[in-house]
Chains A and B, each alone.
Chain A
Amino acid sequence: MPLKTSVSRRAVLAGAAAGSAALAAPSIVSAQAGTLRIGVLLPRSGLLAQAGQSCHRGALAAPRVLAELGYRVELVHVDTESNADIARTQAERLINDGAHVLTGAFDSGHTLAIAQVCEQRQVPFVVNIAAAPPITEQGLKFLVRNFQTGPQLVTNGLRLINNLITATKIAPKRAVFLHANDTFGQAQRNAMDAIFPRTNMPFELVESIAYDPRAQDLSVEVTRLRSLRPDLVLVVTRASDAIKLVRDMVRQRFEPMGIVSPGSPGMYDEEFYQALGPLADFHVSNLPWVNPKSAMTQALERSFAATNPGNRFAADGFNAGFTFEALLIAADAFKRAGTTSGVPLMEAIRATNLAEHVMIGGPIRFDEKGQNPNIGSACVQNRGRTPVVVLPEDNATMAPVLPMPGWQGRT
């Protein structure tokens, strides 16, 4: 005789509720145990993958250093595929999966897409790298940026060029500004057009040339550059086009006093050193950089070596350093706030005051717009296929060398 069982609808609902509570328990326990879950959104594939991977290596190195400092974090790494729509979708997914804070996203467009989601969901967003001014001009309450804006990059970059000229005693008369014709390059061009006339530089900017960053080579661009006879070439590049630029300069035997970036990636990337060998040396990038003399930088470098044995911290320092600092800011705020709840956590983030950190500059603090105004810039010169801080003197580990030696005979 079959056994009859009857289950009431009320019993099913009660069981379901109990089951849900049991399933939810681990995340509650985790939050109570004092671990901050941070979603790290980076373009690890697609057009921006090279930089995104470099940032990712910094994120991989971060937990060990943060643990040494007494912070407990759990990182969830997500690829935005160099696509703003995917960045937005992944931000939603991370928040749904229980992320308490988001960091990223290297690109300004992706950053703005993620910021909208964070604002709606009241989840703090700490920007690691993204220079577009509107990010902190829209009154976003759940966003802070620990990176310079485009105009700040150019202003500091030009100031350091002046310092570089003084330090090396060169006397350039003419310069040409060559930039990638993409969002970042165009923003830098606008900043250059606005700021250069006010800076009293000792040389004339004879022309600005926009080039297609997807071009297969830059031979004609270099011919045009050569025809303008500049002493200094100011560039805003990415790694692959910086390689093409130097390669075609060598082929056309064009030797300016120096190639200087007033705030852009490209010439300090590992890809650049690998492709050009000794020809990668003596180029200068003026931009925020890791402070080689900071104890925290040295700790991050040790952790980086352990977690990324195939990569050099020297070449990844810029991306890895800012990505680490974004995580540091979130972890420190969590420790002070004592909660993972969005509103009080964001209040703690905005009240950040970290004197000890890894990038050159003053304490990490945020103004009313959520912008850190204390980020410094350094003059970084490639020496022995390694980016080395040569200015300001307080942070420098070598003296700058300009004019750069000729292409021939480099070993």
Chain B
Amino acid sequence: MPFDFYVTVAVQGVLTGLVYGLMALGLSVIFGVVRVVNFAHGEFAVVAMYLAFLGFAMFGLDPILAMLPIGLGFFGLGYLLQRHLINPFVGRPEHEQFILLVGLAIVLVNGLLMLFGPDTRHANLPYGFDSYEVANVLIDKVRVYAAAAALVVAALLFAFFRWSRTGMAIRACADNLLGAAIVGLDVKHLYALTFGLGMACVGAAGALMVVLADATPMLAPAFTLLAFTIVIVGGMGSMAGALVGGILIGVSEAFASFLVAPSAKSMFSFAILIAILALRPQGLLGRKQ
């Protein structure tokens, strides 16, 4: 088989993996700081997909641009959710957090079903069928744009946590909660900001997913599972790990589809997950507890 087919598959895997990584980044950020596992993660991503679809269908707004208002809106939503719904559960037994967020997930999926029905929704972008050809390698234009946007959002988030005072304060909370509280940091506010940032990542990733996949409420559990797989592979709480995990899962699924059987591709991502859990439980870039 010509070599360019392998290159095509690798590029497709990397580009898709970057968008997956952005989605998982939100989950990782929230868990790394707030220590709450957002079991409604995929559901929020699908809500963002529907918002991006509506923006395109009603106002002709490109989903890649819609990522900005949706990300901002999700930041606000995340902030309010953390302050009023999730914060009382921080520090409570994990099964209570689980039930709360699974309940929220069920409400979101059924709400989407009631509003939009079960049919898939497509954003037929003017460049949706275009591709770039580089040395016999064909790359979808939408995938390139979505991956580039995911990289920009991830870079901004890294920069925020690395260089801004608020970002450093959030990292302080993650490293030593008691110490952060003693030096006078407003932990509740910082937790809410973190949840908001995580949700902004989900919102942006959901908007980008619309250019790659069709929106349907049934996607939500698959997205949640995918985000968990990536975060565990990359390392819970590690931002770089989420992106690396996303790319690894994207590429492994692509090659499994190409070389083995498309219907077996999930088997390979779960095999990687099991191998990581067995050999390096903290994930590729996670820290030992």
Which residues from chain A sit less than 8 Å from chain B, CB to CB?
45-47, 49-50, 181, 209-212, 214-221, 223-224, 226-227, 239-240, 243-244, 247-248, 250-253, 271, 274-275, 277, 279, 407
Q: In the complex, what residues of B have CB within 8 A of residue A47's CB?
A: 118, 218
B113 at the interface (CB under 8 A from A): yes
> In the complex the two chains form, what is the Cα distance from A243 to B212 in whole Å?
12
A209 touches B262 (CB 8 A): yes
Is B161 part of the binding interface, using a Cβ–Cβ cutoff of 8 Å? no
Contacts across chains A and B counted by CB atoms under 8 Å:
96
In the complex, which of the residues B214, B216, B218 has the most CB atoms of chain A within 10 Å of its own CB atom?
B214
For the A-B complex with A209-B261, A216-B219 known, give 9 more contacts whose Cβ atoms are closer than 8 Å: A209-B262, A216-B212, A217-B212, A220-B253, A227-B5, A239-B120, A240-B120, A248-B140, A251-B138
Asked if B186 is at the interface (CB within 8 A of a chain A CB), the reply is no
Q: Which residues of A contact B140 (CB under 8 A)?
A: 219, 248, 251
Known: A227-B5, A251-B131. A271 touches B213 (CB 8 A): no
Q: Which of B1-32 contact A (CB under 8 A)?
A: 1-2, 5, 8-9, 12-13, 16
**A411 CB, min distance to chain B CBs, angstroms:** 14
> Which chain B residues (86-125) contact chain A, with CB distance < 8 Å?
113, 117-120, 122, 124
Pair B138/A252 contact, Cβ less than 8 Å: yes
Given contacts A209-B262, A227-B5, contact A216 B118 (CB under 8 A): no
The docked-state distance in angstroms from the alpha carbon of A279 to that of B113 is 28
> In the bound complex, do residue A224 and residue B258 qualify as a contact, i.e. CB atoms below 8 Å apart?
yes
Q: Are A240 and B124 in contact (CB under 8 A)?
A: no
Residues from chain B with a CB closer than 8 A to the CB of A226 are 5
Partner of B262, one of A211, A240, A277, A279: A211
**Chain A residues, CB < 8 A from B113:** 45
**Which residues of A are found within 8 Å of B209, using beta-carbon distances?**
216
* A223-B5, A227-B1, A243-B214 known; A277 vs B118 contact (CB < 8 Å): no
- DSSP class of A's interface residues: helix, strand, loop or mixed? helix
Q: In the bound complex, how far is the Cα of B129 from the Cα of A244, in angstroms?
A: 11
**Does B254 make an interface contact (CB < 8 A)?**
yes
- Contacting residues, chain A, for B141 (C-beta < 8 A): 251
Give the Cβ gap from B254 to chain A, nearest Cβ, in Å: 5
**Chain B residues whose C-beta falls within 8 Å of the C-beta of A217 in the assembled complex:** 16, 212-213
Interface residue B148 (Cβ < 8 Å from any Cβ of A): no
A223–B139 alpha-carbon span in the complex (Å): 11
- In the complex, the answer to whether B219 meets A50 with C-beta atoms within 8 Å is no
A220 with B138: CB separation less than 8 A: no
Q: Which residues on A sit within 8 Å (CB–CB) of B118?
A: 45-47, 49-50
Cα-based distance from A250 to B253 in the complex (angstroms): 22
Are A223 and B258 neighbours in the complex by a CB distance under 8 Å? Answer: yes
Cβ A243 vs Cβ B258 within 8 A: no
Q: Are the CB atoms of B119 and A50 closer together than 8 Å?
A: yes
Please tell me which one of the listed residues A46, A210, A223, A271 contacts residue B9 in the complex, with CB atoms under 8 A apart.
A223
Is B129 a contact partner of A251 (Cβ separation < 8 A)? yes
Q: Are B129 and A210 in contact (CB under 8 A)?
A: no
A226–B6 Cα gap in the complex (Å)?
12
Q: In this complex, which of B16, B124, B129, B131 has the most chain A Cβ atoms within 10 angstroms of its Cβ?
A: B129
Residues of A contacting B60 with CB < 8 Å? none
Q: How far is the CA of A240 from the CA of B121 in the complex (A)?
A: 9
Q: Contacts A214-B222, A220-B258, A226-B5; is A253 near B263 (CB within 8 Å)?
A: no
* Pairs A–B under 8 Å by Cβ, sample size 17: A45-B118, A181-B262, A210-B262, A211-B257, A212-B265, A214-B222, A216-B219, A217-B16, A220-B254, A223-B5, A223-B8, A247-B128, A251-B131, A251-B140, A252-B138, A253-B138, A274-B122
CB distance from A352 to the nearest CB of B (A): 34
Decide yes or no whether B175 CB sits under 8 A from chain A: no
A184 to B113, CA, bound (A): 25
* Chain B residue nearest to A240 in the complex (CB): B120
> How far does the alpha carbon of A130 sit from the alpha carbon of B52 in the complex, in Å?
37
B266 within 8 A of A: yes
Q: Which residues of B contact A243 (CB under 8 A)?
A: 120, 122, 214
Closest to A214 in B: B222
Q: Nearest B residue to A252 by beta-carbon distance? A: B138
The contact of B263 among A45, A46, A50, A212, by CB within 8 Å, is A212
Looking at the assembled complex, report how far the CB atom of A34 sits from the nearest CB atom of chain B, in whole angstroms: 37
**CB neighbours of B9 from chain A (8 A):** 220, 223
Which residues of the other chain, A, contact B12 by a CB distance below 8 angstroms?
219-220, 223
Name A279's closest neighbour in chain B (CB-CB). Answer: B129
Interface string of B214-226 (1 = CB under 8 A from A): 1010110010000
Contact A247–B261 (Cβ < 8 Å): no
CA distance A107 to B20 in the complex (A): 33
Determine if A244 and B214 form an interchain contact, defined as CB atoms under 8 angstroms apart: yes
Q: How far is the CB of A49 from chain B (nearest CB, A)?
A: 4
Q: How far is the CB of B271 from chain A (nearest CB, A)?
A: 16
Q: Which of B143-160 contact A (CB under 8 A)?
A: 143
Closest A residue by C-beta to B142:
A251
Q: Which 6 A-B pairs have the closest CB atoms?
A: A216-B213, A181-B263, A220-B257, A49-B118, A211-B262, A210-B263
B8, B129, B262: the one contacting A221 at CB < 8 Å is B262
List, in ascending order, chain A residues with CB within 8 A of B1's CB: 227
Contact (Cβ within 8 A) B117 A49? yes
CB distance from A82 to the nearest CB of B (A): 8
A224 touching B8, Cβ below 8 Å: no
Beta-carbon nearest neighbor of B223 in chain A: A216
Q: Which residues of A contact B2 (CB under 8 A)?
A: 227
Cβ–Cβ contact B266 & A271, under 8 A? no
How many angstroms between the C-alpha atoms of A215 and B128 in the bound complex? 18
* Cβ contact within 8 Å between A211 and B138: no
Within the assembled complex, what's the spacing in Å between the Cα atoms of A252 and B263? 21
Interface pair A275/B265, CB less than 8 Å apart:
no
Residues of A within 8 A of B16 (CB): 217, 219
Chain A, Cβ-Cβ closest to B114: A45
Chain B residue nearest to A216 in the complex (CB) = B213
A335 CA to B157 CA in the complex, in Å? 72
